[in-house]
Amino acid sequence: MCGIVGFTNKIKEADEVIGRMMDRIKHRGPDAYGKYVDDGVALGHRRLSIIDITSQGDQPIFNEDRSMVLVFNGEIYNYRDIRKELAAAGHTFATNTDSEVLIHGYEEYGAKLLGKLRGMFAFVIWDSKNKELFGARDFFGIKPMYYAVMGDTFMFGSEIKSFLEHPDFKKELNERALENYLTFQYSPTQETFFKNVYKLMPAHYFRYSSGELEVKRYWDITFEEDKSKSLKDWVDSISDTFRDSVTAHKIADVEVGSFLSSGVDSSTVAAVADVDKTFTVGFGTDEKYNEIGFAKEFSKAIGKDNYSKVISPEEYWGSLEKIQYHMDEPLADPSAVALYFVCNIASRKVKVALSGEGADEIFGGYNVYSDPGGTFYDRLPGFFKRGVGKLASKLPAKRGVNFFVRKGKTVEERFIGNAYMFTPKQRKELLKITTDAPDPMKITGHYYKRVKKADDVTKMQYLDLHLWLSGDILLKADKMSMANSLEVRVPFLDKKVMKLAQGIPTKYRVTRKEKTQQTKYITKYAMRLAAKKNTPKETEKTSEKKKLGFPVPIRVWLREDKYCAIVKKAFESQSSEKFFNTAVLEKLLEDHKAGKADNSRKIWTVFTFLVWYRVYFENNGKYCRAV
């Protein structure tokens, strides 16, 4: 795991600039560094040594005649198999790394190499003969890649903060991204919060030559039910395929550990991986916010050592500037801070940790996936539900009314992902600035169009796999782990696992079980049954637990005077006045503190942006104090 930076070389001080850019991301790779500079390009690399930990694995890496040079962030789990193919084709290797397989593989196969890879990656290859850059990002977006064109300079990197060191970089806030963020809680498009800086989206590659940039998708997810298999067949296949994935993800020349919560995903990873150490964090003693007790019991059951930490409110709030600095863009997911701390305790014991991200999106695990078609009301005619929904929308919002409003809409109209903070109308009322940010349905419609014939559960999963997963879940996983110089691997997010999951019938992803007078919904149904096969009997209730996520007591804290005052101060700041109608913010805060409404997530979304803005636009890309 590493960090990469680079730019087309149009400046005299290229060697010094690439050095400063590398220093900005030293946390991604403290073990070694390397750079390459010629009259066409400057490339930099920071290394966290995982495979071939000798100096042979240092980058940049060259092909035989040194006409091509590579910088790479990630791991290729099937590199040994590809290496054999390339050696048989006449390629000679100078190292035992997966990195070198990429450069020889590109020589041999071009962009078709990407279809052969199994792993997580973001890499760039400079072809000095043709004066062309080729770069690619992995299938799910586990590893980040950003790029920008500033004047005559094309620059790229693992983190946007490295761009701040380039003399051609012009730092401007992208206000369109702010408006989108207020709805999604993250930046959902290829645009970032920095104007003219873009994400290379998951499963895409680029070519840059003679001032022209070409970006293409090379892979996509295709859900197609295979009804020929029984439930038992699916359960056995999931178990076998996941075990194979975990074996691949454990390839390393250093010790591997595992994160552990009370959920089925991380428990399955920890049990199957058979690692020596597990890591857990929590808040206080309330079981709603603290899973440490379960984690210790589970670790004992599988014969492993658990390392844990209770995060104090002071530690949580005191880390917010540091978190948003490392995030590059504001992310209003409160669990990102908890993830930072679990990465921190893990990094003191291991260099690599396995985690359970991706299981919910792939196997249908989110509670919201049980919403479509789950009640008698859902089976009523669409025109009737739409009419009732329109009438209900005129009434004050409350639980029963909201049900009819929601059911009166199609899934395309009501679902933008696991977070929906401010509606388009609400964000217009909140913002002082005017932007041309697209409506949320325009952003999601691009993805819904690709699966228009699918059932609603599949549509929701497809959307989350393309937006929520990379925009929130994997963003925080990469940035929080790398902030602690820790590599996180996610064995559920594997091409072979995804290929299998694409065929699982919807009824085995989200199923309905009749129980007396109640209907019990079971998400991730087949995967939960597979988990029972792979975890000790005394902990099998793990597979039945309702999803909690990474619970953080934000709602409680924002009703305490101390933390409410911190947020109020931010809401009254000059930065807040610049962007927001602060009277609206103050009302949200007052109503929440008084217990009139739960506005915690809306408040946190705005507050997080203001913390991030202070770091990058008031403190010039530096965090310098507790909030």
Catalytic residue ranges: 2
Cβ–Cβ under 8 Å, residues 57 and 89: no
Cα–Cα distance, 463 to 223 (Å, whole number): 12
Question: With the CA atoms of 215, 219, 220 and 222 taken in that order, what torsion angle do they form, in degrees rounded to the nearest 10?
Answer: 150
Cβ–Cβ under 8 Å, residues 35 and 44: yes
Token pair recorded at residue 269? 């990873």
Alpha helices in 98-188 (DSSP H): 98-109, 175-184
Cα–Cα distance, 237 to 157 (Å, whole number): 38
**DSSP per residue, 235-270:** HHHHHHHHHHHHHHHT--SS-EEEE--SSHHHHHHH
Q: Alpha carbon 151 to chain centroid distance?
A: 30
Tell me the C-alpha to C-alpha distance, in Å, between residue 325 and each of 438, 549, 621: 27, 23, 7
Q: What is the largest CA-CA distance in the chain?
A: 76
Q: For 319, phi and psi rounded to 5 degrees?
A: -100, 0
**74: nearest Cα among 533, 512, 622, 482:** 482
Cα–Cα distance, 109 to 533 (Å, whole number): 40
Contacts of 515 (CB under 8 A, 6+ apart): none
Q: How far apart are the first and last CA of the chain?
A: 31
Cα–Cα distance, 322 to 344 (Å, whole number): 13
Burial category of 216 from C-beta neighbours within 10 Å (exposed 0-12, middle 13-18, buried 19 and up): exposed
Cβ–Cβ under 8 Å, residues 161 and 328: yes
Q: Alpha carbon 140 to chain centroid distance?
A: 9
Cα–Cα distance, 406 to 390 (Å, whole number): 10
Cα–Cα distance, 267 to 279 (Å, whole number): 11
